[in-house]
């Protein structure tokens, strides 16, 4: 059936609804992803919670959906918009087509949309609310998200994976499975804890290091957690990724702001001021740490986005705290920055040795 995407700026885009729309209409923030592949990982990345995702590549779904590449147990997007969706998955591991997978989860798939014109609107005016409906006209009901979506995607209980000699506590703000797998592959024991876990509970777990994960939404909606985060990162060697990076900055008194249309793709160039080289990175975020606000903190900028000069990562000069805005685990995306995990774990080992010889 014919359906329409209505943007908050009054623009409307027509398309064909390929799956059911259980509630009659779907509302969400309209964002776009620029990668040519990786749609399965995008759909199941908790950082996309409640968003309407537009894929810029004109053909999506041609290798289907497999059983291995999920980043969480279910998709988190509100709806999917593409120019063309492949009806079959032409890959030996494929178990579902894109359409069948989305239908299974009651997620609308809108095809034959002029995605180039749609993305131009978002790039020019910024990400904005949108509504998908069968009606050609729509009275937009724009409502701001006042509550963080993190509580919808974070684990509700403490879970432990692996049995390695290095114990890492992963604070779950909506973590991707590939982050956990990156630590397990390096011989770690990983305890995943809810986003609002107390410092005392973390202490009782006796970790060697701490990892603050990615997650959805505005980091300032998690202000009540900043006191605990500050205590924890000052006490343990820390790696913070994406939303975690922003929360570390806020915990130290820096500020964040919303980008016009965010960074969502697998081809973002980032300059590493220590290694003196440009790395290709995978990213998914709408908010960023304000560079000028770091002047009032001890943090130094290590990573910078080549395209817009935004802050992509920082380090503390005297404490073992490293943060990155991009995704070092990739999935989807290039693996240029996998070594960040090795660097973090080397720091953890160095701190352990210092404690032994102290």
pLDDT tens string 122-138? 999 999 999 999 998 88
First to last CA, the chain: 70
Fold of 2-133: Glucose Oxidase; domain 1 (3.50.30)
Contact 31, 53 (CB under 8 A): yes
Contact 304, 312 (CB under 8 A): yes
Neighbours of 278 (CB within 10 A): 13
- The conformation of residue 51, written as its DSSP 8-state character, comes to E
Catalytic pick among 6, 245, 285, 327:
327
pLDDT in the model for residue 211: 98
Can you tell me the distance from the alpha carbon of 136 to that of 99, in angstroms, rounded to the nearest whole number?
Answer: 23
pLDDT in the model for residue 30: 97
Contact 283, 241 (CB under 8 A): no
pLDDT in the model for residue 146: 61
pTM: 0.95
327 catalytic per annotation? yes
What kind of architecture, by CATH, is found in domain 150-357?
A: 3-Layer(aba) Sandwich (3.40)
CA angle (256, 262, 101) in 5-degree steps: 125
Q: Look up residue 354 and give its two tokens.
A: 């210092």
Give the CA-trace dihedral at 332, 175, 43, 95, to 10 degrees.
80
Q: Which residues of 30-46 are buried (b: 16+ CB within 10 A; e: fewer)?
A: bbbbbbeebbbbbbbbb
Can you tell me the distance from the alpha carbon of 151 to that of 297, in angstroms, rounded to the nearest whole number?
Answer: 29
pLDDT in the model for residue 324: 98
Q: Look up residue 31 and give its two tokens.
A: 């964002």
Beta bridge partners of 291: none
Contact 202, 232 (CB under 8 A): yes
User: 342 by DSSP, 3-state: which?
Assistant: helix
242 catalytic per annotation? yes
Residue 284 vs residues 49, 70, 196: alpha-carbon distances, Å: 12, 16, 22
Q: Look up residue 14 and give its two tokens.
A: 């027509």
Q: Which residues of the chain have pLDDT under 70?
A: 141-146, 356-358
Residue with tokens 């080549």: 306
pLDDT 10s digits, 9-21: 999 999 999 998 8
Contact 208, 348 (CB under 8 A): yes
pLDDT in the model for residue 142: 61
pLDDT in the model for residue 356: 63
Catalytic pick among 71, 242, 245, 285:
242
| Domain ranges across the chain | 2-133, 150-357
Comparing C-alpha atoms, which of 155, 234, 158 is closest to residue 201? 158
Residue 80 vs residues 39, 89, 103, 182, 252: alpha-carbon distances, Å: 10, 17, 11, 28, 37
Provide DSSP, 306-332.
TTT--EEEEE-SSSSEEEESSBTT-SS
pLDDT in the model for residue 46: 97
Q: Is the dihedral of CA 259, 45, 134, 34 positive or negative?
A: positive
Contact 329, 170 (CB under 8 A): no
332 prior amide bond cis, ω within 30:
yes
Q: Residues with Cβ < 8 Å from 39, sequence gap 6 or more?
A: 33, 55, 60, 61, 98
pLDDT 10s digits, 157-214: 999 999 999 999 999 999 999 999 999 999 999 999 999 999 999 999 999 999 999 9
How buried is 192 (Cβ within 10 angstroms: 0-12 exposed, 13-18 middle, 19+ buried)? buried
In this chain, the answer to whether the domains covering 2-133 and 150-357 adopt an identical fold is no
Q: Which helix (H) or strand (E) holds 246?
A: helix 243-251
């Amino acid at each position: 059936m014919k359906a329409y995407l209505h943007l908050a700026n009054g623009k409307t885009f027509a398309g064909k609804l390929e799956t059911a729309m259980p509630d009659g209409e779907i509302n969400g923030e309209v964002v776009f992803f620029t990668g040519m592949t990786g749609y399965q990982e995008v759909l199941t990345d908790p950082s996309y919670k409640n968003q309407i995702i537009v894929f810029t590549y004109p053909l999506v779904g041609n290798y289907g959906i497999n059983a291995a590449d999920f980043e969480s147990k279910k998709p988190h997007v509100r709806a999917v918009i593409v120019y063309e969706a492949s009806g079959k998955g032409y890959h030996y591991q494929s178990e579902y087509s894109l359409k069948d997978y989305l239908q299974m989860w009651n997620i609308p798939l809108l095809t034959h949309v002029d995605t180039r014109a749609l993305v131009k609107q978002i790039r020019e005016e910024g990400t904005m609310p949108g509504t998908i409906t069968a009606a050609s006209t729509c009275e937009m009901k724009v409502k701001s998200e006042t509550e963080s979506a993190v509580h919808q995607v974070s684990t509700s209980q403490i879970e432990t994976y692996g049995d390695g000699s290095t114990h890492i506590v992963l604070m779950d703000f909506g973590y991707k499975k590939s982050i956990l797998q990156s630590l397990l592959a390096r011989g770690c024991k990983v305890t995943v804890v809810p986003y609002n876990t107390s410092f005392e509970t973390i202490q009782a777990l006796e970790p060697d290091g701490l990892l603050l994960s990615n997650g959805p939404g505005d980091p300032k909606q998690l202000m009540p957690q900043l006191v605990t985060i500050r205590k924890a990162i000052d006490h343990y060697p820390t790696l913070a990724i994406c939303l975690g990076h922003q929360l570390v900055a806020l915990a130290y008194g820096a500020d964040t702001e919303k980008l016009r249309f965010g960074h969502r793709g697998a081809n973002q160039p980032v300059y590493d001021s220590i290694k003196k080289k440009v790395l290709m990175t995978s990213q998914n975020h709408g908010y960023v740490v304000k560079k000028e606000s770091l002047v009032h903190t001890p943090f130094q900028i290590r990573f910078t986005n080549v395209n817009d000069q935004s802050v992509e990562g920082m380090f503390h000069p005297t404490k073992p705290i490293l943060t990155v805005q991009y995704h070092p685990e990739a999935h989807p995306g290039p693996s240029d920055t996998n070594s960040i995990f090795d660097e973090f774990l080397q720091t953890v080992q160095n701190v352990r040795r210092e404690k032994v010889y102290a």
